[in-house]
Chains A and B, each alone.
Chain A
Amino acid sequence: MAAPQDRRPGFSKRAHLGLFTSYVAASAGAALGFVVLVVSLLNPTAFAFARAAANDLAAPAGEVSATTRSGGKTFIDVISGYIEAGSKNAQLKQELAVARSRLAEAEAIESENARLKALLDVRETDGTPVATARLIGSSSTSTRRFALLGAGKRDGILPGQPVRSAKGLVGRVLEVGNRTARVLLITDGESVVPVRRVRGDISGFAQGQADGTLIIRLIDLGINPLKKGDVFVTSGSGGLYRPNVPVAIVRNVTRDGAVAQIVSDPAASEFVVVEPIWQPITELRDPTEGPTP
């Protein structure tokens, strides 16, 4: 194919000016982008209001697509369910019998726990969820990992509250709009979750790697005691995440920690639960109020 038509303006003064103006406008756009970018890098919440408003506006589209997703998932589940119904049934019956006895034990431990905590006067919120909502979108093209939640200020959601699904931890609320909220997924590079191995008292931090895995760093350095298949749960340090919520399963052991697969893939969970901050003792006080005892 031949070259595109020549867009050089020739001798026309007006065309020259038009071309010049469009270059000026484009460079001004780039400069504006640079300034805005620097501002938002220095202060990440500077433009939260614009994002929240835009997401509130576009939320209905996300709700529709979230419904489509759960519909599509159940369709596949129905088919695969028919194929492996028999063997699964027998296996589930066995598991149920074991689970019943475990549940009884767990209830006993829970009541004992409640009694002991009352003795110690530990300040923490009960597990009543703040809201239940769908994840209506995610930053699927960016290397940052955010999800959009279909509930916001209206539903009592505040920044910092942890988000979990039935399977495990999903992330925490970062910015809140009127009807939507942005969730920092635990797989994002900025997210750090204090974790503990289910068996044995080994604690560490799980940091996101933006590719669906977490990197686990142990607090006590030395011989790495981790094995493939170890399950990590939240430890409750820091007071943000409620303890004993499943986070990740170890996939590869590294020299001083492990690479772990997240337990709760946000794509697989239809509804997520927003919980209150576990131990809200580190609330920031207004400095003008004067010292509080």
Chain B
Amino acid sequence: MSLGGDRLPGSGLFSRRINRAPSRTLATIVPWLTIALASLVPLSPVIASAPVVPPLSFMLLVGWRLLRPGLLPLWAGAPLGLIDDLFSGQPFGSAILLWSLAMIGMELIDGWLRWRGFWQDWLVASVVIASYLFLAHVIASIAGGAFAPGLIIPQILLSFIAFPLLTRVIAILDLLRLARIRVLG
């Protein structure tokens, strides 16, 4: 018997369906884990002499929040930001503050907008990411270094382009999250 109707394309990617159910632990932990792992990007092979790499961990946070509202609790910005602060090179506390504000802000935007779609999500994400990068640069320039907003423009543009690609990655991770790995009975 075909189950085609209620299946997403690729949802059979990770496991069998009969007699299996998604694991509650996996369904909860995947977004936390992916965002925390993306915070390790500064340890990647890229040794940059200018800020060019998009803030992947923050973009993942925004992506998960927009694609699966309610999956990450409202306070998730603080602990995840703490992990990001350990590696990012920003003054300690900058991500804790900005990520918390971003989570609250996106919750407010969600209550305000009555529709949802690809272009709108992209726009919301772009605004949130651009303001995050700008405020992060302001904080970094208070801690030391010149204030030069032109410096972050290439990074902002790269983030805009990268976001739709990242949402596809999140969609695949979402399938992994709901993989039926728990054996019933």
Contacts and interface: CB of A to CB of B under 8 A. Distances in A.
Interface in B36-78: 40-56, 69-70, 73-75, 77-78
Interface stretch (A28-36, A221-229, A278-286): A28-36
B123 interface: no
B116 A140 contact: no
Contacts of A113: none
Interface in B76-101: 77-79, 81, 86-101
B107 to A, nearest CB: 8
A140 to B, nearest CB: 4
Contacts of B107: 26
A27 B81 CA distance: 14
A206 interface: no
Contacts of A39: 92-93
Interface string A76-118: 0000000000000000000000000000000000000000000
A235 to B, nearest CB: 23
A266 B47 contact: yes
Contacts of A265: 49
Given A22-B75, A265-B49, A267-B49, A46 B92 contact: yes
Nearest to B75: A25
A144 B55 CA distance: 14
Contacts of B45: 65-66, 68-69, 72
A47 B92 contact: yes
Contacts, number: 209
B181 interface: no
B115 A210 contact: no
A190 B91 contact: no
B143 A61 contact: no
B11 interface: no
Contact of A138 (B48, B77, B100, B113): B48
Most buried by A among B77, B137, B146: B146
A241 B47 CA distance: 23
A187 interface: yes
Chain A contact residues: over half helix, strand or loop, or mixed? Answer: mixed
A51 interface: yes
Contacts of A37: 91-94, 96-97, 139
Interface stretch (B2-10, B147-155, B171-179): B147-155
Contacts of B97: 30, 33-34, 36-37
Given A27-B104, A30-B104, A141-B42, A210 B91 contact: no
A190 to B, nearest CB: 4
Nearest to A38: B93
B103 interface: yes
A208 B93 CA distance: 24
A146 interface: yes
A3 B114 CA distance: 5
B42 A2 contact: no
B74 A139 contact: no
Given A1-B116, A33-B100, A141 B49 contact: no
Interface string A205-227: 00011111000000000000000
Interface in B7-37: none
A141 B46 CA distance: 11
B103 A143 contact: no
Given A138-B46, A210-B151, 13 more contacts: A2-B116, A30-B96, A37-B96, A51-B86, A55-B86, A65-B45, A69-B45, A137-B43, A141-B88, A144-B89, A212-B50, A266-B47, A267-B48
Report, nearest first, the 5 A-B pairs whose CB atoms are least far apart: A189-B145, A139-B89, A29-B78, A33-B96, A33-B97
Interface of B: 40-56, 69-70, 73-75, 77-79, 81, 86-101, 103-104, 107, 110, 113-117, 136-137, 139-146, 148, 151-152, 155
11 contacts: A4-B110, A29-B78, A32-B96, A37-B91, A54-B86, A142-B51, A142-B140, A145-B89, A147-B47, A188-B144, A212-B49
